[in-house]
Amino acid sequence: MARPRSQGSRTDGAVEPRQLSPDAEEYLSFLVVERGRAPSSIASYRRDLLAYEEYLEWRGDCMATVDAATVRSYLAMLEASGLAASSRARSLAAIRGLHGFAHAERGVARDPTVEVEGPRVPQGLPKALSEAEIGRLLGAVRGDDAKALRDRAVLELLYATGARISEVAGLDVRDLDLEARLVRLFGKGSKERIVPMGRPSVAAVREWLGPCGRPKLVGVTRPRREDADALFVSSRGARLGRQAAWTIVRRHAVASGLADKVSPHVLRHSCATHMLNHGADIRVVQEMLGHASITTTQVYTRVSQEHLRRAYLAAHPRSSVSRRAPSGRRRGGAGAPP
């Protein structure tokens, strides 16, 4: 089965970008207005739905005629193309949402996706740095110029709060209460949560907000109105973007010899894992990370248990002793202790 092309065409030979159907556009507007989905999520859904609607057009189907077999056929095509299970699961989530919306809001008779089982997505363990590696990363920032003060504050805040990079990049100065050591974060769906900060992160942010830090960069150019209150800014005085914040993490990971161990969420994973290792209640960690479901947080308990198992095997004197009875004795037989 040939895969449909991902763009439309005109009779004059020029290629024009495909457009989503009105139903799909209405669904994306619903996600923005009613669900508060982030622009990055909407962009991903748009790509997934464009490809899906192109497939339906290629088959001669529309929203009213799609059945479960059609959706399964589309997922099979994605799998045959080599798309990862996680990407196929995300695509199915967008398709489910569209059909559910069309059924509930647009009068389509049925939702064919209720009969479709999603791909199995292997659940890998979050990759956290050790506490010693965190120390190396946080200590990798050198100097006391404005950029160094900013980078140090970004790293300290990410590790102290377990925040997502996008959440830290989106902070305004007014979201901080340094006296109370609290920060207000806005997570997925613009859900607000209050998270405590440790003393090192408070000290780093204070330095960044001092005369040698943020004021030096804010004054480079006149900031846009939406950037005027941004906590973290670029060298040009604009709000620090998510990609720029990730670049800061990556740059100092390279400097500390940890380049192959970092990911955009590495400090978030490390914060959660280390808190559980030190006895934090899982519900507290769930609240800090902004997880809607405790099952999302429970993956970190698996990391913590693996850490415990490795420590036990390395340290307990009888962790590797054979379970068989010593030679010459049989369990429960002659020679066995009473």
Q: Which residue segments constitute the domains of the chain, with CATH numbers given?
A: 16-115 (1.10.150.130), 133-262 (1.10.443.10)
Quick check: 139 and 146 in contact, CB under 8 A? no
CB atoms within 10 A of CB 140: 18
Nearest to 74 by CA among 48, 98, 100: 48
Strand partners, 186: 192
Average pLDDT over residues 294-307: 69
Which amino acids are annotated catalytic? Answer: 164, 188, 265, 268, 291, 300
pLDDT of the residue at 332: 44
Q: Of the ranges 264-273, 284-293, 321-330, which one carries the lowest mean pLDDT score?
A: 321-330
Q: Of the ranges 53-62, 68-77, 313-322, which one carries the lowest mean pLDDT score?
A: 313-322
pLDDT of the residue at 236: 86
CA dist., res. 198 & res. 179, Å (int) = 11
pLDDT of the residue at 331: 42
- Model confidence over 105-155: pLDDT tens digits? 888 888 999 999 988 876 666 678 999 999 999 999 999 999 999 999 999
Does residue 257 have a pLDDT over 50?
yes
State CA 200 to chain mean position distance.
Answer: 25
CA dist., res. 249 & res. 230, Å (int) = 19
Predicted structure pTM score: 0.63
Quick check: 185 and 193 in contact, CB under 8 A? yes
Does residue 15 have a pLDDT over 50?
no
